[in-house]
Chains A and B, each alone.
Chain A
Amino acid sequence: MNKQKAIFNYALRLGDNSLVLGHRLAELCSKGPILEEDLALTNMALDHIGRAQAFLGYAAQVEGKNKTADDLAYKRAERSFYNNLIMELPDKDFAATIARQLLVSSFEYFLYTELMKSKDETIAAISAKAVKEVRYHLAHSSDWTCRLGEGTAVSHEKMQNALNDLWMFTGELFEMNDADAILIKEGIAIDLNSIKQQWLEHVNGVILEATLTLPSSDFMQTGSRKGIHTEYLGHILSEMQYLQRAYPTAQW
């Protein structure tokens, strides 16, 4: 793998994470527990899809095959997607949405804060914008974790279950492959091990404040770095890509 290929792979990973999580958040439109939350979740979906467009656009440019961000979003198959599995899991309930957002936004906060210093100017610029958005996403999900954790016995249990269910998907966030090795040397990517402890402390802090318990299981799912996903991704893509696939010559 050369540097160009590594950047392509890395930008795809960041773009796919944003795209797939943006898709899941967008699905919640008109389904929020209160209108204010409908707006908040839609707003987060927008941030993620905007970020997906930026990273996939960059990936397309680096690849140099005359493709666009849309080509990469709409014309790749399941096995060529590199988003983490946690992004594609369905939203069982509001607690699951909040738990996922807490775990992911905490990760993204530390990731993009570091990537702002990337020697790749495009990655640094997209990350600088992302940090501003993620700060809000993190505050939102932390507040709700506390509300649900401390609220009622029912909400406490749902929130704890949601964290327990999602925990085995968090290990993957920190996995690295050849692309990371190449880009860390170049000062473009970061060593994900370097933010793992910060992430854990932050998440644990919120969970304790919410009177919840950090899940103790250390078994972790894996697959996404190799393009191996849950069954859910195929359904997301068949919906997302429907028009582009059904009318391949059309411009929209």
Chain B
Amino acid sequence: MEEHDNKFQSRIDAGEFVEPKDSMPDAYRNHLIRQMSQHAHSEVIGMQPEGNWISRAPSLRAKQILLAKIQDEGGHGLYLYSAAETLGISRSEMIDQLQKGKAKYSNIFNYPALTWADIGAIGWLVDGAAIVNQISLQRTSYGPYSRAMLRICKEESFHQRQGYEIMAKMMKGTKEQQEMAQDAMNRWWWPALMMFGPHDSDSPHSSDAFRWKIKREGNDELRQKFIDKTVQQSEVIGLTIPDKELKWNEQKNIYDHGEINWDEFNQVIRGNGPCNKQRMEHHIKYHEEGAWVREAAEAFKNKKAKKENLINA
């Protein structure tokens, strides 16, 4: 066993990709199942807060862009479920784990999308933070995951631009629009920073993930990258970042920032965010309402197969 693990580790150290049929330690497989299914669930649950605004999008163009974006998210979910299935777990098992609370999704989607500016903030900040993380994951050691990330990153950069465009337009608009945009910024900034997870020193799964090169950069390092690129974007359109301690550090060449409210972070993880219950109830409700459709599709497929067998016999 140990020999097997050492051999695996030396492949990882040599920078090789691991492919579905390769032998791999159970812990590596389980770590990936946990991470990839969480990633897939996040894409799917993320459709809800944005979907909340499709019917109220303020122009036909905005409506189409938002629909296309949400459709992309669903597609990413599908793609990630398929990638995770290469590890020997089915999509229905993963959905079951999600609905029973055994699998998580990104905390960020437990916050509500209250105004149209939130659609801008989600695209710009939430997708912006996701991209930083996903670019890093392009070099992850599991081949199907890495390839999924390459494809997903292309679409995410379009999402981030559409979010930024919404914010930029509102900041050039009426006083009410500007206030709406700043309010969304105030509410989404900190949760976006929390998306990178706890400080590396407090991160429970990090050491294995680094050793196996599933994770290539630390939470704090990625968070810093996001902050540094977002501060300028924010200044260009006249939005203020709601952090009084935010300051350019000449020596380090980065922005220093205030401390994240980790109590809030932990509360939301524990299920006490504003929308945890709502998101899961929605997912379960429509999954259950669709059961008869899935049964019908399955029955139809079996009937067809039977007919074909009779013809071929």
Contacts and interface: CB of A to CB of B under 8 A. Distances in A.
Q: Which of A30, A32, A147, A249 has the most CB of B within 10 A?
A: A30
Interface of B is mostly: helix
B214 interface: no
B300 A151 contact: yes
Nearest to A148: B296
Interface residues of B, number: 47
Given A49-B60, A150-B303, A30 B292 contact: no
Nearest to A70: B59
User: Contact residue range for chain A?
Assistant: 35 or more
A39 B68 CA distance: 10
Contact of B70 (A42, A73, A94): A42
Given A38-B74, A150-B303, A251-B169, A30 B58 contact: no
A243 B296 contact: no
A251 B297 contact: no
B114 to A, nearest CB: 13
Interface stretch (A127-135, A152-160, A161-169, A195-203): A152-160
B294 A243 contact: no
Interface stretch (A21-29, A82-90, A107-115): A21-29
Contact of A26 (B44, B54, B169, B300): B54
Interface string A231-246: 0000010011011100
Contact of A39 (B74, B169, B293): B74
Nearest to B279: A30
Contacts of B303: 150
A29 B68 CA distance: 11
B77 A35 contact: yes
21 contacts: A26-B54, A27-B54, A30-B51, A30-B70, A30-B286, A33-B293, A34-B294, A35-B78, A36-B78, A39-B71, A39-B78, A42-B67, A56-B60, A69-B60, A147-B300, A150-B300, A151-B298, A151-B299, A249-B174, A251-B173, A252-B58
Interface of A: 19, 23, 26-27, 29-39, 42-43, 45-46, 49-50, 52-53, 56, 69-70, 73-74, 93-94, 146-148, 150-152, 154-155, 158, 236, 239-240, 242-244, 247, 249-252
